[in-house]
Amino acid sequence: MSLDLVRRLFATRFGGTGAVILVAISLLSIFAPLFATTGPLDVGLPSLQPPSWAYPLGTDSIGRDVRSILLYAGRSSLTIGFSAAAMAFLIGGTMGALAGYFRGPLAAVLLRITDLFHTLPAIIIVLFTVALMGASFWLQVAAVALAIWPIEARLMYGQFITLSEREFVLAARAAGLPTFHMIFREILPNAVPVVIVQVALDASTAILIEAGLGFLGLADPTRPSWGEMLNRGQEYLDPAWWMSVFPGMAIAIAVLGFNLFADGVTEMFNPRASANVAPKLEG
């Protein structure tokens, strides 16, 4: 069954490409030690060397191999992407599901809270949180999740409202099945395709927000990430373009991967739908 799903994904316009990109960058970061020549924090190479055979992506201002940092930094960036998306799904999905299933005053309150968060641009919410609480790695993940959950809540609310009107749900309700069964066995499984798409898009948004935060020098300084690399590169844009160009490319490729994958999944479950458009939260 899962093999069949993969085959269907590869039959879509972009889905296969997206999946390949995602698998490739995940493997490169997980097995970073195999592809990197030095550790991410090892200094001592000649500094500011342009790309060459010895250093394919050049070296940075304190004599580190850009290729090695890039591989290890992928770990932080992808971890933030996946975990922030998962956390946003948990918060937003729960809020949306509760509002959509129980409706009434509870829904009104939950939706107003969602609106409240939706009013502010994501990067502002993240900066505000980081300014108040500091920027340890997991706090950063939480801040990003806090910024993107409203989309997830809106989406889940919409799904619950639509699906609740469908015959099989009405039948289950008429049969007097318990609430737990209604939510987890009847409604939720039917919302899965839409949720997968949204979580993938959220992950790409999270990576972009992290990039912004790192670029501003506000990310956890003890863990190299693509955004943090761009922060170091900014100062050396003139003598060492490679310090900024390659991390930016890595971010763009990862984000592209998530978006193509999401497009593919949308097309797979709903061939007539045009490409899903994610609201770009990062600037």
Partner 1 sequence: MLRYTMGHLAQALLLVLGVVIAIFCLLQLIPGDPVQAMVGDMPVPPALRASLEQRFHLNEPFFERLLSYLSGILHGDLGYSINYRRPVFDILAERLPRTLLLAGTGYAFGIAIGVSIGIHSAITPHRGVDRAWSALVLIGYAMPTFWVGQLLVLLFSIHFGWLPTQGMGPMISRASGIDWLLERATYMVLPVATYTILEMTRAARFMRASVSETLEQGYIVTARQKGLSRREIISGHVIRNSILPVITVMGYSFGTAMGGAVLLETVFSYPGMGSLMVEAVRARDRQVIVGVVLVVACSVVVMNIVVDLLYAWLDPRVRIGSAKH
Question: Which residues of this chain interact with partner 1, rule CB under 8 A?
Answer: 112, 115-116, 119-124, 127-128, 130-132, 204, 208, 211-212, 215-218, 230, 233-234, 237-238, 241, 244-245, 248, 251-253, 255-256, 259-260, 274-275, 277, 279-283
Strand, helix or coil at 256? helix
Q: State the DSSP string of 144-210.
A: HHHHHHHHHHHHHHHHHHHHHTSHHHHHHHHTT--HHHIIIIIIHHHHHHHHHHHHHHHHHHHHHHH
Residue 113 Cβ vs partner 1, minimum distance, rounded to whole Å: 8
Tell me how far apart the alpha carbons of residues 276 and 260 are, in angstroms, rounded to a whole number.
10
Rounded CA-CA distance 15/268 in Å is 8
* Tokens found for residue 182: 């209604």
- CA-to-CA separations, 263 to 149, 159, 195, 266, in angstroms, rounded: 20, 19, 13, 5
Write out the two tokens for 125.
């919410």
Nearer to partner 1, 29 or 38 (CB): 29
- Which 8-state DSSP code applies to residue 77? H
Cα–Cα distances (Å) from 35 to 53, 56, 63, 70, 112, in that order, read 15, 12, 18, 11, 49
Q: 86 or 256, CB closer to partner 1?
A: 256
Place of tokens 């340890």: 136
SS3 65: strand
Q: What single-letter amino acid sits at 280? A: K
Quote the least distance from Cβ 120 to partner 1, whole Å: 6
- CB of residue 82 vs partner 1: minimum separation in angstroms? 17
C-beta of 45: minimal distance to partner 1 in Å?
23
Using the minimum distance from each CB to partner 1, give the nearer residue, 98 or 207.
Answer: 207
Tokens of 51: 């790309």
Nearer to partner 1 (CB atom), residue 45 or residue 80: 80
Q: Minimal distance in Å, beta carbon 201 to partner 1?
A: 11
Q: How near is the Cβ of 102 to partner 1 at its closest, in Å?
A: 20
C-beta closer to partner 1: residue 2 or 274: 274
Closest to partner 1 by CB, 43 or 116: 116
User: Shortest gap between Cβ of 63 and partner 1 (angstroms)?
Assistant: 22
Q: Measured from the CB atom, is 191 or 251 closer to partner 1?
A: 251
